[in-house]
Amino acid sequence: MAKPDYPITPAVRYLRRHNIAFQPWLYPYEDQGGTGHAATSLQVDEHAVIKTLVMETDARRPLLMLMHGDREVSTKQLARQIGVKTVGPCDQAQVQKSTGYIVGGVSPFGTRQELPIYVEATILDLERIYINGGKRGFLVEISPADLQRVLPVQAVTVAVER
């Protein structure tokens, strides 16, 4: 049997276990390159490249926020919509502790801890999305319907223009 030409991460194992069809995409990771670099490397629309942000509430409870690559999260709107006082980014140590992934390679699939997952509602309207596969420089292309089917995502409207 031929060895796959992409990494077998906890995210890939999760997708396989849940019978999610995905297309792997590798690109040369660049520190601080973000979704713009990924989109350019793969020649796809940055709006369809989804970033997985690890944030925490004022009670220091971590959560995942899935956002379009070309948008930012209004943390005030997010806090209001999920019923907490404030929401902010987690530090790198908390990201790794909660997810098992390193910053730049965080996937919502196969996380170490089960975390609340919020998704910008307009992501669910896209035909295909490109989301981290659990390693820097590695995205998986999936259907947003599959994302909804296997993850307990809650849709929120918190996107703001960059």
Which sequence spans correspond to the domains of the chain? 23-161
Residues 120-138: what's their mean pLDDT?
98
Q: Report the top-level CATH class of 23-161.
A: alpha beta
CA-to-CA distance for 48 and 124, rounded, in angstroms? 10
> Considering just the CA atoms, what is the radius of gyration of the chain in Å?
15
The pairing of beta strand 87-89 with beta strand 49-57: antiparallel
How far is the C-alpha of 72 from the C-alpha of 6, rounded, in Å? 29
pLDDT category at 105 given cuts 50, 70, 90 is: very high
Q: Say which DSSP state 19 is in.
A: T
CA distance 47 to 26: 18
pLDDT at 4: 61
Phi–psi pair at 35, nearest 5 degrees: -70, -25
Please tell me the distance from the alpha carbon of residue 97 to that of residue 78, in angstroms, as a whole number. 23
Mean pLDDT of the chain: 95
* Joined tokens for residue 43: 């020649």
Closest to 132 in 3D by CA, of 72, 75, 54, 73: 54
Write down the pLDDT at residue 80. Answer: 97
Tell me the C-alpha distance between 140 and 124, whole Å.
16
Residues 43-63, mean pLDDT to the nearest whole number: 97
H/E segment holding residue 39: helix 34-42
Whether pLDDT at 1 is above 50: no
3-state secondary structure of 131: strand
Average pLDDT (146-160) is 97
